[in-house]
Structure 1
Amino acid sequence: MSNITIEDYKKAIRAKYEIAIKEDVSGILSDPTPAQLRDFYLRIFEKGLGSIDEEIVKIFLEAKENFSLKKSIENFNIGKFKPIISFLKGGNTDNRPRIEMAAILVDFYPRPFNKFKSKDASEDIKTKELYFLKDEKKEKERNHNEEENLNQENVTKILDDVFEAEPINLFLDLKKELPEKETQKAKKNVLIVVTGVIGLFFLGYYFPQKKQCMQWSGDHYEEVSCDLEIQGIGTYISVEPLDERVIHLKKIKVSDTTTFFKNGEAVIWYAKVEEGVEFFNSHGMHPENNKPLKPVTQYIIDKYVK
């Protein structure tokens, strides 16, 4: 039988939380407010929940039958999210729905606890080692990629060293041991290798790596090189790691003909700024002031839409 306990499950979730903090490009998970936590759960819901996860969320929210789960999340008392934050940061709790909500938040597997507990006993190794293994592997892969990505100066130096070597030294031993025909063949092979190195250098120069960062450009995100920095007028526009979850966020112009609701649910989001309000095509965080975007209401439409 497995010796795994609920305390092991809690430790594993907290260990995964540490990994999730490192992977969270928004930086919110390290110290989330209850409102930000609600928005995170909305994002998770829109990406799709399994049937077991849905039941856990319904139990935690005390959602009514046949009532929109999304609406239940939006209207939930955000103060009740605080114990989840406290638990992830080391606080103790025996509230099972709360523990499972934390597991959903950090995308911990296997979940829920019954599935975690049913693992074969032979796999019952130290929890922290098990769930930090993934993070350690990623770090090694990152280091390996950095070693492979030679910059232009390094490649140029290698090529210079090759071409500056005296041919007589390069082929001296071959001439001593091989007939003339074999020596010529060896020279040809070396030339092919050198040509290949040059070819790889120019491929890397003219076909740079895929852009892995993004930058807010006034009303939408653009994919940019990670070493790009732009100084705006009176503000600094930072470059962020590419995040597929928010890259499609756009600031939009609305009018009295805009469709704000579908099936009774808001499809436009807004945030208050000094000049009034700004509208967006999805939920998330305001790219410039980092305030959470809220679903539009009829009151906001009546007050700000002309």
Structure 2
Amino acid sequence: MSNITFEDYKNAIKAKYEKEKEEGDYSNNLSSPTPANLRKLCVKRFKSNPDKEDLNAFESFFDFPFDKDKKNLFGDDEMNKLEAVKRFFQGKTEKPSEDTIQLAAILVDLRPRPFNKYKKQMDEEDVQLIDILRGTSDSAKEVSSDNLSDKVKVENSNNSEADFVIEEPLPVQSKEVKSEETSISTFVNMDEKPKSNKLKYLAIVAVLAGLGLIIFLALPRKECMQWSGDHYEIVDCNLKSEGFISGSPVELLDENLVGLKKIKVCDTTVYFDKNHNAIIWYAKKGDSIDFFNNHGRHPENNSPLRPVTKYILDKYVNKK
């Protein structure tokens, strides 16, 4: 059974990205992975290799099928989603969605893909690469152990020759004198240490512990989130929102909001529970309506999310 994990798959994509941005055919798009450059690369990849599974990944990521004849495939929402791929390439997102990972694999042309194929078709060279990415050093440890064993054998062999050399025994008196000198020297050294040194050592330890605590508290923590098209992603609090089309700000992590997601409604969408309570929320955005899976505020215009009503559905959804 394969021991390749999804984390290994993500690491392999990042390694392929580092290689492609330096020497790949589309290094000009990947060396600066802005949403605009990634959009251009999307069109290039899917035009040159319209694989069925890749096309399914595209539709799952953007919520519409790829069409090479359409001129205007990407709006603000789609560009914001590509920002999530950019953050993944740059290591600035902690928990990217699976759709983000799959599109990233296509853009760097990692093969085999997707993950269910990747974990099955691994040759020896790829397995070694996975071990390197994991930081595995088991093989190095084995080599070191063997070298140590050989070294011990050689030393034992050399020492065995010394067993045949007749040495004159040292006088017993010299050993006793040496022992006494060592004891006296140790006693004198211990007696010479001032008692105040203990206090100095304790003070130094206390200062170092305090500095360590200050440094720990000052380190940036990944306790922030940022709206990415239709959902929140957990990001580094130092992440700047440069390059965002809609300028989505970096916010402090809110466990009540991190699961908020914008959804697309259709004829089969369930809007109310068995007690006729709304389970879908909405907010106006310009002349249209955005729907969400939970209550809160609209991440893009801060409008309060309200429970959906039959009037809203008739006006904006069933009007056709």
- For normalisation by structure 1, the TM-score amounts to 0.38
> Who wins on radius of gyration, i.e. which is larger?
2
